[in-house]
Amino acid sequence: MARTKHQSNRSSSRPQKRLQFRRSPRQQTPVADANRPAMPSGATPSTTATRSRDAPQGSPAQSQQKRRRRRFRPGVVALREIRNLQKTWNLLIPFAPFVRLVREITHFYSKEVNRWTPEALIAIQEAAEAHMIEMFEDAYLCAIHAKRVTLMQKDIHLARRIGGRRHW
């Protein structure tokens, strides 16, 4: 069974920071409240303004300010991205950087060959991505065998060594 990170159930020791919103010009007069301390001398109502309790709670401006962005648990978004990428048939590596890399490697080995057809470049990219996916699958099996969730460099080395192909 894979290990996962557990979050602490304790609440943080720091109190949460309260946001202060400026009042609209109609609400410049301070509302007398027994729970709020009096304003310091020389302070204007706009500098120490807090949200009025008389304001309607269902107004769209307040609901947008109040609404927080949802945070997903660690790994949920990654699994969603993996499922979406497995459904698509598009290539994962951007085409232009891959073509630059192929031309650089070609220029390093041979000065004579400098032209590629687009079909040949796409075929090379498909083969390269298929090889990388196969290698990552094998390396991830090595990581799971070591009772880890995180893929490490030593897993990739082990997968390549077990595979029998010496490319380095």
Summarize pLDDT for 95-110 with one digit per residue, the tens: 999 999 999 999 999 9
Q: In the chain, where are the structural domains located?
A: 91-163
Share of the chain above pLDDT 70, in %: 59
Predicted local distance difference test score (pLDDT) of residue 3? 60
Terminal Cα-to-Cα distance of the chain (whole angstroms): 33
Residue with tokens 């891959």: 98
Superfamily in which the 91-163 domain is placed by CATH: Histone, subunit A (1.10.20.10)
Q: Which of these, 132, 130, 138, lies nearest to 163 by C-alpha position?
A: 138
Phi-psi region of 132 (alpha: psi -120 to 50; beta: other; left: phi over 0): alpha
Between 114 and 56, where is the model more confident? 114
Q: Which of these, 29, 33, 69, 66, lies nearest to 49 by C-alpha position?
A: 29
- DSSP H helices, the chain, are 60-66, 76-87, 95-109, 118-145, 153-163
Q: Are 160 and 136 in contact (CB under 8 A)?
A: no
What is d(CA 162, CA 166) in angstroms, rounded to the nearest whole number? Answer: 10
CA distances (Å), 50 to each of 33, 34, 43, 46, 83, in order?
A: 12, 14, 13, 9, 46
Between 41 and 131, where is the model more confident? 131
Give this prediction's pTM. 0.53
Of 32-36, 81-85, 104-108, 158-162, where does mean pLDDT reach its minimum? Answer: 32-36
